[in-house]
A and B are shown apart, each in its own frame.
Chain A
């Protein structure tokens, strides 16, 4: 007998898995999502956050472009607090770009993408950041920013409100089978090592770049090609709208203003494993150099960190590699293909099309389970709890002093001044058993994502681990050290100018003032997850709630 049972187990806590969980719960199917890290800690959270109008794919990948058009419009409707409706520019800076233009215009027309050529002077008036190299400009009103963290958390919270469950830091290590039918999964808690079995009628493999590893546990093959992309985060938005190079998609040709920062992307390189994502100096260099061709301010802004994500490109059998491969997705019915009932995989695709991907795979599984309720994820708004999903851009106004003079009540302190994170923004997450590291708090609140990269908020959060989560001092300090460590991994790629000086301040605060390294050597519990991932915190009290 399995420890618990449910209807469907969803493996993978990225946008697809979260979308599937919501879709299942909205069709009244009992579901549990298991994720070996945190929500949005894989591909989704490491995307550049471009809400694709489809313009980027309209020449080479028309089918994907058309999906982006439709899904982009749906997301603008159902996920308002997740989407920043910035609009976007496609700019030409070279002869080759100019030669690409007719194909781009034709592609936009075919895909149904609104695309308007505007005079450069007019464009500069609207977007002063456009560089002097810019020769022609197209305005694509439907490009935008899609916040991957809010998107995933929003989907998961929506599903939870409908009874679905989430288990983070829970890895699937095996399957329960009845003949050729999957009847459950065996999971292992990353931090405690505890094994649990979950019985179910079907399993959906939504692990993206990791889909092959999960399928292998059932001795079936899913060929996913992990393709690395490197991104650089700048300290402020740089531009009002997204900026794309109007050319054949290449390296460093996207600038996305994302909430309080700008993200430069990206590269494309096949990697042997989705977790082997080295970032080289010349990649970072290239991002900044190419970005500066499109927008002023890219090279004078502070580069805060660099990160790499992995695209889960599905090998449709074609010869193409990397960018040439389609961004289309595929639903794999393993019952039909491999004779394993109760198991389906969803691979390929993009964050922008996550909802459609979820709908398609949920259609299949629901049909197999005999559930006829149609999909309603395109109609029902993601977020019916505004306060939980409060977008950062609304915060400056909320931080006001309502009646300044004579009101001696004082201001509420902030947890993270860089990203305007208030105590009430973090408080609910300390009570969520799915939140198990300070990185998880960061993904849900943006605490630590500003220029100081957690130098200050880390110790404030550590304090709250004690007061709000009930941890003891050493465990909270260890959680803080692990948080600093994960931040450091991104910061070390941009060590020049202000960010290098910033790191010195962080070092001064934590190693000299707090004497953290000495504490780590002598007094603190070891990081639970060991190398490669920040340690988690868990108290008996919290564990018992699960």
Chain B
């Protein structure tokens, strides 16, 4: 009898669409850094699954307050029902922007790579301009980037060109591909050098396939088409690599795009396969350690360090491999500051109308960092590091920097 009923049941009831799974438990609202910091944001539950009920069939889409979502994805991490909350919000944001036309700022911030190429070519001038109050005032008026937000420094020598001159090691156990991303290429070449040095020290040859921007700046600046163009190109190039070659990313958000968003948000063909081979650098090193392959002959690094876990790292669902890794290093005194989102969320905190909110979101973290005192604040994400330096006035580094020091590459 029971069997009979069960059969009837499964005939009738197909698997529900993911948006239906929201049980209004409100867990997402409790972790949302934006909702915590402003009263004018209704929170992920309302703007995501709840509004989604209305969007597809309503003439007036629910869009008010949507732009305040910074895209940290903590809601998705915390959702007990696996509702892709932020993806619903993101799609609605972009639909609204597509209907309303893109702004100059969205174009500028979306084309990070283009902008960075230019910035890098004119590095001294660009860096001077980015720090010049008059230029910044103009930038604020014309483009809408807040004058107080420090912008990343450009480097004339890109990681790409450095890598071309870098001699490949002779004896290696295996080869990995490195997705270095725009940040390493144009702004922090040293991090890329350290990644290469650490991997080579462990007998791993690093190659750098030709690559575009991962696309996340375009996604968050209402340009899904551009993001899809970048993404498809990256997926195509990475698919050409040998099928068993692992892919390493040192930027949390680039890694998240490759691992997850290409396949799910952008629905790029073949992205699932590529994504399955992508690892965050610290995740990869920890895997090596677990396999007994990591060289743990570390020199002591006597530093007092704080670790801030970036929101997008939490989305990877890999825990905090950096902290595990750093605790292998003698002398390291590491503490986690568990104060949530730093507030910058990529280009979100650069925008003139979101700067204050961004600083307010990060204020708890800033206070904790100031109170704790440290030699450096570690974070896997570049914009988190920018924000901590700006908000807490502290030094910051990628955890890899400490590993490199322990290997004597400091």
CB of A411, distance to nearest CB on chain B (Å): 5
Q: Does B269 contact A (CB under 8 A)?
A: no
Say yes or no: B40 contacts A501, CB within 8 Å: no
CA of A405 to CA of B54 in the docked complex: distance in angstroms?
25
In the complex, chain B residues whose CB is within 8 Å of the CB of A496: 9, 13
Interface positions of A from 396 to 437, Cβ below 8 Å from B: 396-397, 399-401, 404-411, 414, 417-418, 420
**A383 proximal to B (CB < 8 A):** no
Q: Once the chains bind, are A396 and B58 in contact (CB under 8 Å)?
A: yes
B:22-73 near A, CB below 8 Å: 22-26, 38-42, 45-46, 50-51, 53-54, 56-65, 67-68
Answer whether residue B354 sits at the interface, using C-beta atoms and an 8 A cutoff: yes
Determine whether A260 belongs to the interface, using a CB cutoff of 8 Å to chain B. yes
Bound: A411/B67 CA distance, A: 15
A236 to B23 Cα, complex, angstroms: 15
C-alpha spacing A399/B41, complex, angstroms: 11
The 8 A CB mask of A491-532 against B (1 = contact, 0 = none) is 000001110011011000000000000000000000000000
Whether A498 and B8, one on each chain, are in contact in the complex, defined by CB atoms closer than 8 angstroms, is: no
**For the complex, what is the distance from the CA of A357 to the CA of B63, rounded to whole Å?**
43
Q: Which residue of B lies closest to A456 (CB)?
A: B24
* A501 in contact with B54 given A300-B14, A411-B65 (CB within 8 Å): no
CA distance A288 to B257 in the complex (A): 38
B142 CB-CB contact with A under 8 Å: no
Dominant secondary structure of chain B at its interface with chain A: loop
Instruction: Please give, as numbers and ranges, the residues of chain A lying within 8 Å of B239 by CB-CB distance.
Output: none
Q: Does residue A327 face the partner (Cβ distance < 8 Å to B)?
A: no
Residue of chain B at shortest CB distance from A457: B24
Contact pick for A505, options B23, B50, B63, CB 8 Å: B23
A393, CB-defined interface residue at 8 Å: yes
Contacts of B13 in A (CB 8 A): 288, 299, 303, 496-497
Chain B residue at smallest Cβ distance from A501: B23
With contacts A411-B39, A411-B42, A501-B21 taken as known, whether A285 is within 8 angstroms of B12 at the C-beta atoms is yes
- Least CB distance from A267 to B in Å reads 15
Given A236-B53, A260-B53, A405 contacting B17 (CB threshold 8 A):
no
B81 touching A401, Cβ below 8 Å: no
Contacting B23 at CB < 8 Å: which of A240, A407, A502?
A502
A205 proximity list for chain B (CB < 8 A): none
Are B16 and A498 in contact, with the CB atoms below 8 A? yes
Query: In the complex, what residues of A have CB within 8 A of residue B57's CB?
Result: 236-237, 239-240, 257
Q: Does A536 contact B (CB under 8 A)?
A: no
Q: Which residue of B lies closest to A394 (CB)?
A: B60
Closest to B13 in A: A496
Q: Give the chain B neighbours of A497 by CB distance below 8 A.
A: 13, 15-16, 20
Does residue A452 face the partner (Cβ distance < 8 Å to B)? yes
List the B side residues contacting A451 at CB < 8 Å.
Answer: 20, 22, 24, 53
Residues of A within 8 A of B53 (CB): 235-236, 260, 418, 450-451
Closest chain-B Cβ to A288's Cβ sits at a distance in Å of: 5
What CA separation (Å) do A289 and B26 show in the bound complex?
A: 32
Q: Contacting B56 at CB < 8 Å: which of A236, A299, A397?
A: A236
Across-interface contacts of A504 in B (CB, < 8 A):
23
Residues of chain A contacted by B61 (CB below 8 angstroms): 396
CB pair A498–B65 under 8 Å, yes or no, is no
Docked Cα-Cα span, A393 to B353, in Å, equals: 30
Q: A260-B54, A288-B12, A404-B68 are in contact. Are A399 and B62 (CB under 8 A)?
A: yes
Min C-beta distance of B331 to chain A, whole Å:
46
Closest residue on chain B to residue A303 by CB atoms: B13
In the complex, the answer to whether B58 meets A301 with C-beta atoms within 8 Å is no
CB distance from B150 to the nearest CB of A (A): 21
Residues of B contacting A401 with CB < 8 Å? 40, 64-65
**A294 CB-CB contact with B under 8 Å:** no
Are B23 and A397 in contact (CB-based, < 8 A)?
A: no
User: Judging by beta carbons under 8 Å apart, are B68 and A396 in contact?
Assistant: no
**Given A260-B53, A501-B21, A417–B45 Cβ distance below 8 Å?**
yes
Q: How far is the CA of A409 from the CA of B81 in the complex (A)?
A: 33
CB <8 Å contact, A452 and B23: yes
Expressed in whole angstroms, the Cα–Cα distance for A431 and B245 within the complex equals: 70
Chain A, 362-399, contact with B by CB distance < 8 Å: what is the 0/1 string?
A: 00000000000000000000000000000001101101
Given contacts A396-B62, A408-B39, A496-B9, is CB(A418)–CB(B16) below 8 Å? Answer: no
- Interface 0/1 of A436-454, CB less than 8 Å to B: 0000000000000011100
Taking a contact as CB atoms under 8 Å apart, the answer to whether A289 and B65 are in contact is: no
A498 touches B40 (CB 8 A): no
In contact, B16 and A302 (Cβ under 8 angstroms):
yes
Q: Which chain A residue lies CB-closest to B53?
A: A236
**Assuming A257-B57, A396-B60, is B65 touching A302 (CB within 8 A)?**
no
Residues on B with C-beta less than 8 A from A299 are 12-14
| Complex: chain B residue closest to A235, CB-CB | B20
> Once the chains bind, are B64 and A405 in contact (CB under 8 Å)?
no
In the assembled complex, which residues on chain A have CB atoms less than 8 Å from the CB atom of B42?
399, 411
What 1/0 flags go to A347-358 for Cβ under 8 Å of B?
Answer: 000000000000
Cα distance, A454 to B53, chains bound together (Å): 17
A287 to chain B, nearest CB (A): 10
Residue among B12, B63, B67 with max Cβ neighbours from chain A (10 Å) = B12
Alpha-carbon gap, A399 to B65, bound state (A): 10
A404:B9 contact, CB within 8 angstroms: no
Residue of B nearest to A284 (CB): B12
Q: Which residue of B lies closest to A236 (CB)?
A: B53
Most central of A240, A396, A410, A504 by chain B CB within 10 Å: A396
Chain B residue nearest to A299 in the complex (CB): B14
Measured CA separation A198–B57 after assembly (Å) = 48
Alpha-carbon separation in the docked complex, A502 to B83 (Å): 14
Q: How far is the CA of A534 from the CA of B173 in the complex (A)?
A: 73
What's the Cα separation between A268 and B245 when bound, in Å? 63
Alpha-carbon distance between A258 and B307 when the two chains are bound, in angstroms: 51
| A residues in contact with B65, CB < 8 Å | 400-401, 404, 411
Least distance between A10 CB and chain B CB atoms (Å)? 37
Per-residue CB contact flags for chain A residues 168-183 toward chain B (1 = under 8 Å, else 0) read 0000000000000000
Report the Cα distance A407→B38, complex, angstroms.
10
Q: B87-131: contact bitstring with A at CB < 8 Å (1 yes, 0 no)?
A: 000000000000000000000000000000000000000000000
Give the residue name and chain of the B residue nearest to A257 (CB).
B57
When the two chains form the complex, which single residue of A300, A394, A410, A502 contacts B40, counting CB atoms closer than 8 Å? A410
Min Cβ gap B62→A in Å is 4
- Measured CB to CB, the closest approach of chain B to A396, in angstroms, equals 4
How many Å from the CB of B156 to the closest CB on chain A?
Answer: 37
A455 interfacial by beta-carbon distance below 8 Å: yes
Q: Do A285 and B8 contact each other (CB < 8 Å), given the known contacts A300-B16, A502-B23?
A: yes
**Interchain CB contact (< 8 A) of B20 among A240, A257, A302, A406:** A302
Closest-by-CB residue of B relative to A405 is: B353
Q: What CA separation (Å) do A401 and B64 show in the bound complex?
A: 6
Q: Which residue of A lies closest to B10 (CB)?
A: A496
Q: How far is the CB of B279 from the nearest CB of chain A, in Å?
A: 33
Q: Which 8 A-B pairs have the closest CB atoms?
A: A410-B39, A400-B64, A302-B20, A237-B57, A405-B353, A452-B24, A397-B60, A396-B62
Apart from A396-B62, A404-B68, 11 more pairs, CB < 8 Å: A237-B57, A240-B57, A393-B60, A404-B67, A409-B39, A411-B42, A450-B50, A451-B20, A452-B24, A456-B26, A498-B22
Which A residues form the contact surface with B (CB < 8 A)? 235-237, 239-240, 257, 260, 281, 285, 288-289, 297, 299-303, 393-394, 396-397, 399-401, 404-411, 414, 417-418, 420, 450-452, 455-456, 496-498, 501-502, 504-505
15 A–B contacts, CB within 8 A, in A order: A236-B54, A285-B12, A288-B13, A299-B13, A393-B58, A396-B54, A400-B64, A400-B65, A410-B38, A410-B39, A414-B46, A451-B20, A452-B23, A504-B23, A505-B23
Q: List the interface of chain B (C-beta within 8 A of A).
A: 5, 8-9, 11-17, 20-26, 38-42, 45-46, 50-51, 53-54, 56-65, 67-68, 81, 353-354, 357
